[in-house]
Structure 1
Amino acid sequence: MTQPARVLLVDDSAFVRRATERMLAPLAGVSVVGFARDGEEAVQQVRDLRPDLVIMDVEMPGMDGVAALERIMRECPTPVLLLSSHTRDGAEITLRALEHGAVDFLDKGGAASSMDIHALAPVLREKVWAVLKARTDPLRAPAESGRAARAVDSAPAPAHPGRYEVVAIGTSTGGPRALAELIPALPAGFAAAVVVAQHMPAGFTETLSERLDKRSPLRVSEARDGDAVLPGCVLIAPGGRQMELRRTGGALTVHVFDDPGQLHKPSVDLLFRSVARVAGAASVGVVLTGMGSDGAAGLEGIRAAGGRTFVESARTAVINGMPAAARGAAERDLALDEVAGVLAAIVGAE
C-alpha cells in the first residue's frame, strides 16, 4: 500500500495550524505528522520528521518563513507551500521565498478574516497535490544583477534582425523563480517587446515587476491599460485581471480588463491568442513551469500564425503540467537556463 504523504504545518497561530489540519483531513493519501510555531522549530522538525511537504506561514516572529526556507532548502530540500497575505510587506516576503525555492503560495487574503479561512479549503487541497509533485532543487539564490548585459549578448546574431516584434511568456506554479532567472538574463537592447502572464492573485504582480526591474537590463513594469508595447520593455499582466494586445495603426498597446468568466487570471491562452492575432509571424511564445494546461491552445495559435514556439523542458520545470500540455505546439524544449540565449539569438539586440 502506498504510504500517505507526510505534511508538516508551520504557523505561529494555533488556530491556523488546526484549521489547516482540518482542511486537509478529507484528502486521502495525506497525513499531518507535525506542527511548528516558528521558523527555528520548523527547521528542526524537517530534520527530525523528513516530511514530504511543508505548509508554512511566511510572516512569523523570530526566524521568519524566508529564513527557515533557506535553511530547509540548504540542509534538507523539501517542497514548501507558503501561506501569505496580499499586503505590500506580505507580497515582498512571499516573492523572496518563491525565488529561494518555495514551490507555490496560498493567499490568505482570499478569506475575509481568519475565521473564514476554511473557505480556502478547495484551493489549498488543489495546491497541496500540485506541490507534492514538484521538482525540488537545493537552494540557489537568484542573481542579484543590475542593468548590465549578460553573457547571452554573445549569442549568434538572428537570421532576420528585427523580424520578431513580441515575445509572450506564460507561467504558473514555479513561475516567479523561473522569471527571476530568465528576465534578468535577456540582454540590454533586446529588440522585441516582452509580455508575461503569470498566474497570481491581485496584489502580487506589482511587487514581482519591481523586483525583476531592479535586476534586469530591460525595463520591467506591471501593465496598465493602454500601455505601449515597446522593444526592450517587459510588461507583466496584473494579477487577478486579464491582458490582451491590440494594434491601433502601427502601434501595439495592452488592454487590461476584468473577466470573471475566466478560470485563470491572467490567462496565458487569452494573452497568447491576442499576440498571434496582432503580431502573427512576428511573435514568439514560451510556456514555462506551471500546473494545468493554460497556454497550450494559445501556443498552438502562435504556431499557426507562423510564430516561433518553445516550452520549458521537464528537466527544469518545477511543475511540468503546462509545458507538457503545450509540447505538441512547440518546435523545441528548452532548459530554463537556455531560454534567454535562444531568445537573444532569435530576436537580437538593437
Structure 2
Amino acid sequence: MKGHLILLDHLNGPEGAVEAAALLRDGKLEDLQIDSTAPRPGTVYRAKADRPVKGQGGMFLNTPDGSAFLRQIKGLAPGDPLLVQVTGFAEPGKAIPVTTRLLFKSRYAIVTPDAPGTNISRQIKDDDTRDDLLQIAHDVFANHPVAEKGAGLILRSSCDGADEDAIAEDIAAMADLAEAVLNDAVGEPEKLTEGDGPHALAWRDWAMEAQIETEAGSFENHGVLEKIEALFRPEVAIGGATMFVEPTRAFTAVDVNTGADTSLSAGLKANLAMARDLPRQLRLRGLGGVVILDVAPMPKKDRPAFEGALRAALRTDDTDTVMAGWTPLGNYELQRKRARLPLSELVTPEMLE
C-alpha cells in the first residue's frame, strides 16, 4: 500500500508475547521497535553514587536494575542520592549508561528540568502557528510549579496541525510527571518512571499521517515477519549494486559491491545508493558503535558528493551519528550511538515462525 502504515503487534517469545511495533512506508520497512528485558531508554532512577572511576571522569551508581555509569560527576560524592535517566542500552557486561540531564518526552512536548525557556521546533515555519503554540505554552506551562523551578519546554514538530487541546493536555501531563519526579529525589535507589515501550514509542515518535492497525497478526498479514527475517542476512540490494552489513565484536563493516555495472560512474552510483539506505539498515538491525564503510572504488573528486548524500540521510535519522571521515586506506568511518539493542539479541528464528 502507498503511504505510511503503523502496525502494533506482538512476537511470540520464549517467555510469552513480546510487544513490537513496525512502521512501513509504501510497503518498505522503515522502523522497528521490539521490547526487551533490559532497562528502557528514558527510565528514571533515584540512584546512589557508588565509586568513582579514575582516569575516566565517571562514577558507578547503584540502581534497582544493577550498576549504572555516569560521566558528569562534578560535586558528586559516594553515597549521594541523585536522579538519573537511562540514555541507551548497555553493551554486554557493562553498566547502564545514564545522565543527570532529564527529559520528559511525549508526542507533542518535552519538559527539560535543566534548560529553562520555551522553544518550538524549527520545522514549524508558519508564524501564526508558532504564535498559537507559544500562547498554549504560556497558558499551560508558564505558571506550573516545575516551570517556576527553572524547567523549560520544547514543543515538537508534531504540534504542527495537531489539536490544541491535545497539545495542552500533553504539556500538562509531562509537567506534572516532571514535578512528581523532581520532588522524589531523596531516598534509597528506586525506579521512578519506566521508559516507553514499543507501542508508546510508536505513538510518541511516529507522528506522521498514517493508517494504524492494532489487530493481532498484523505483522504476518503485511509481511513484516519476512522483512525482519531478511535483516539477519548481510546482503542488501541497493538498485543494481549490493552492500553487505556485517557486525563484528569491535565494529560493523559495510562493504559495497557494484555488481555487473562496469561504467566509470559505477562506484559513485553504488556508494550514493548505500549512503541513502545505510541509516535505515543500521536502525532496523539495531547497530551502533564504530561503523566502517568499505566503499566501492571512486575518484577522490567524488568524495564530497558521497559525504553530502550520507549527511543528508543521517539528518533524517533519530540516532546521533558522528561522521569521523576517511581513513588512509580509503574507508569511511562513523561513530553511532548505541540507542538500540542489536536485532539479534531481541529476535530468534522461532519468534518469526
Q: Same fold (TM over 0.5)?
A: no
Q: Which has the higher strand share?
A: 2
TM-score normalised over the length of structure 1: 0.28
Question: Which is richer in helix?
Answer: 1
More contact order relative to length (CA 8 Å, sep ≥ 6):
2
TM-score normalised according to structure 2 size: 0.27
